[in-house]
Amino acid sequence: MGGKKKSTQDTTSSQQSQQSGSYDNRTEYGYVPGAQSADIDALRNFQFTADPTIPYRSAAARRRVSATFGNPAAGYSTPELSAQRQLSAFGDIDERAGQESAAEAQRLNQQQYGQKLAVAGLTAPQLVAQRQYGTNAAQSSGSGRSNTINIQPGQSVFGSILGGVGSVLGGAIPF
């Protein structure tokens, strides 16, 4: 079988490409009104009240003090001494009532602040994205190079490849 030998061709190629682009995306924001409902109105209009028992407890303590000094079996003392003791006890009662009233006023202020903060959070205008738009631009460029090695029948594939390397090296390697 004497066949014909075929020549072989080996092709290599290299490419370089470069891409660049720019974009410009924008978003427009705006406000939408806050929520409104009957529940929010009820929260807004709710009135906190102070503890109504403070003055009643103070008056009851004053009555107990007066009853103590009006009891003849409580012991003997001069009327002046009894009056001073009674005034001192009334002063203590009034001081405690004042402290409780101040604490109650502070509690009311805190509750009203919390109420106003909650209503403000529920009804504040909300910042939302209303429109989004943009542009995108892309550019691409490239270059390429192709090498072809022809191998004749009977020629070594490695010889032609290495021969190409030898020519690059200036013939420093003989083949």
Q: pLDDT tens, 127-154?
A: 888 888 888 777 777 666 666 665 566 5
| Domain ranges (residues) in the chain | 31-132
Tell me if the pTM is above 0.85.
no
pLDDT of residue 5: 56
pLDDT category of residue 23 using cuts at 50, 70 and 90: confident
Tell me the pLDDT band of 34, cut-offs 50, 70 and 90: confident
One-character DSSP codes across the chain: --PPPPPEEEEEEEEEEEEEEEEEEEEEEEEEPPP--HHHHHHHH------THHHHHHHHHHHHHHHHHT-GGG----HHHHHHHHHHHHHHHHHHHHHHHHHHHHHHHHHHHHHHHHHHHHHSPEEEEEEEEEEEEEEEEEEEEEEEEEE-TT--HHHHHHHHHHHHTTS-S--
Residue scoring higher pLDDT (114 or 161): 114
